[in-house]
Structure 1
Amino acid sequence: MRLLIAVTLAALAATPALARTEHRQLPRPDGSTIAYSVDTPSGPIDGVLVLAQGSGCQPTAGNANLKAVRQAFPHHLAVMVEKYGIASDAAIADGFTDCPPAFHAGHTVKQRVADYVAVLANLRSAADLPLVLFGGSEGGLAVAMLAEETRPAATILLSSATGIPFAEMVLSTVPAEGHATVEAGFAAARADPQGTALFAGSSHRFWADILDRIPADYMLNSGSPFLIIQGGLDTSSPVAAARATADRFAAAGKCNLTYWEFPALDHGMRSPDGTSHLDDIASAIAGWVAGIGTTAGC
């Protein structure tokens, strides 16, 4: 089921102006607040697009990758949810070294998924619209889990190392001489699953929640059509982990996975000369979503 694709992608067509972006809030059961934005097109709405960012704590408004994907779906209502402890207008420059204490106290992938579920339940106007989920890197794991809990029309995971445990993925990106240090950090997090002490820039709470999660486990439990997009030069989310997901779907006889591998692109869909191809890939993603239902199954 391994598929290498080599296609020439069309540039994005002109898109209609967006009517407005609303910044909203929703209370969590623990008394904290979910901050999220709803970007509404000016004309008819074809569906709801949930955009899940990768690692770090920067607000979604400054995320160029999410913006590129959003522009490829001009007729969708777009929803972006901030991570725990992050306001939509938070002044965060780096997104790793300057995250607020509230972020480290509450941010986990499990919490992200709970927040998305709460926000979608609160969007009454979106109840009968087709749902499209997009997540990059860490966000891919979040939408894989969300796809199991919702009924999306399509789920897209970009550069997300979907086929192996997160801990194994991290170790695969670290030189052998650094494994003992990383494994000691993992052990400390497992022993302190609610802790806010930091290891490699993230809290023990975050690590304890994510270490054993495998996106493919959630994907195999969902009937959503999935699209995995992977760069062959990705050193953050290794290509072998993405291929492992395609192999698992094939072994299970599942027909709801499409796998695109771009051998000359990296984690951010850049070629070795630094050129970003994400706009073109976002356009191709929109085409794939539009074609769902017209393609043959197994």
Structure 2
Amino acid sequence: MRPIIAACLAALAATPALAQIEHRQLLRSDGSTIDFSVDRPTAPSEGLLVLAQGSGCQPTRLNAKLATVRQAFPRYVAVMVEKYGIAPDAAITDGFTDCPAAFHGGHTVAQRVADYVAVLAELRLPSGTPLVLFGGSEGGLAVSMLAEQTQPAAAILLSSASGIPFSGMVLSTVPPEGHATIEAGFAAARADPQGATLFAGSSHRFWADILDRIPADSMLRSSAPFLIIQGGRDSSSPVAAARATADRFAASGKCNLTYWEFPAFDHGMQAPDGTSHLASVAAAAAGWVSSSSRDTESC
């Protein structure tokens, strides 16, 4: 791993400049707006990179982690899509306690995937353009589903509990004495699948859509090369859930999954001393993308 990371960081020292970001819009069938940005390099592009943010409702422009990952792929056109009800210039600071009603009324992971599909159709990629998907946390769940629909050149999931149902992942992060309360909230969401009532900061609509999803199921239906990046100290997306994905791929006999586990890193790729290693991890992931087609063909 260290030689790969060092080589990728050296390459980033001479990265091309980026053109001005283009902000665009599409209409959904319900009349609401999909806002998205297109960030083009000034040099010839090597492909299209879709960056999928994690949970919360902050506009993508405020997401420092997305910006860090984007820098690891400087020769790609980068696309970022705002979540339902979120405008690029929305005055949102916390991203959890100050989300607008429109967000809670329409945001689900399935809606995110539908929006990405619509944006990719609008962009009309020339045949043969490499498509790379990169999602962190909740964004990784969206990437797993999007990969099934788009069959990208590569798909990367960072800190995403992909091998077990989402409900089980949530329960695994809660002390046993809190399970009854959480399960009651889940039951209320399942009984009100279109509702905007909030439970644990998210709407019934959101919970009902995602509770029983196992991202690995979508991944197993895709032939795309996958990279899972997991921190051993991740308390939000437990390492056991990531390892379960690797186990499912091994049991299926499929060889299109690469699994990286960093024992000392947390959900955001921070070490115990608070140092962020996201930039070097993202650079290594970019190097993996370059070799993923060869690795898949040889298995």
**Band the TM-score falls in, shorter-chain normalisation:** over 0.9
Corresponding residue of 1:297: 298
Q: Deviations over 1:98-138 (max 9, x none)?
A: 00000000000000000000000000255541100000000
CA contact (8 A) 1:49 1:79 kept: yes
Matched residue SS, 2:40: strand
Tell me which amino acid in the other structure corresponds to 1:76: Y
Distance 1:25 1:14 in 2: 32
Matched residue SS, 2:298: coil
Corresponding residue of 2:190: 190
Shift of 1:294: 2.7
Corresponding residue of 1:100: 100
Distance 1:117 1:278 in 2: 27
Tell me which amino acid in the other structure corresponds to 2:147: A
Q: Deviations over 1:15-52 (max 9, x none)?
A: 21111200100000000000000001101010000000
Distance 1:266 1:81 in 2: 25
Distance 1:291 1:174 in 2: 39
Distance 1:213 1:186 in 2: 13
Q: Does 1:62 align with 2:62?
A: yes
Matched residue SS, 1:36: strand
How high is the TM-score relative to the length of structure 2? 0.96
Task: Map residues 220-259 of structure 1 onto 2, 5 A cutoff.
Answer: 220-259=220-259
Corresponding residue of 2:77: 77
Query: Relative to structure 2, which stretch is displaced further, 122-131 or 41-50?
Result: 122-131
Q: Deviations over 1:236-283 (max 9, x none)?
A: 000000000001000000000000000000000000010000000011
Tell me which amino acid in the other structure corresponds to 1:93: T
Distance 1:109 1:290 in 2: 28
Q: Does 1:205 align with 2:201?
A: no
Matched residue SS, 1:18: coil
Q: Does 1:115 align with 2:115?
A: yes
Matched residue SS, 1:152: coil
CA contact (8 A) 1:58 1:94 kept: yes
Shift of 1:64: 1.0
Tell me which amino acid in the other structure corresponds to 1:95: G
Task: Map residues 134-145 of structure 1 onto 2, 5 A cutoff.
Answer: 134-145=134-145
Distance 1:204 1:289 in 2: 37
Matched residue SS, 1:270: coil
The count of aligned residue pairs is 294
Judging by fraction of residues, say which structure has more helix.
2
How high is the TM-score relative to the length of structure 1? 0.96
CA contact (8 A) 2:85 2:106 kept: yes
Root-mean-square deviation (CA, aligned residues, Å) is 1.2
Matched residue SS, 1:157: strand
Extract unaligned runs of 5+ from structure 2.
Answer: none
Matched residue SS, 2:193: coil
Shift of 1:202: 0.3
Distance 2:291 2:226 in 1: 13
Q: Does 1:260 align with 2:257?
A: no
Distance 1:69 1:54 in 2: 13
Identity within the alignment, %: 76
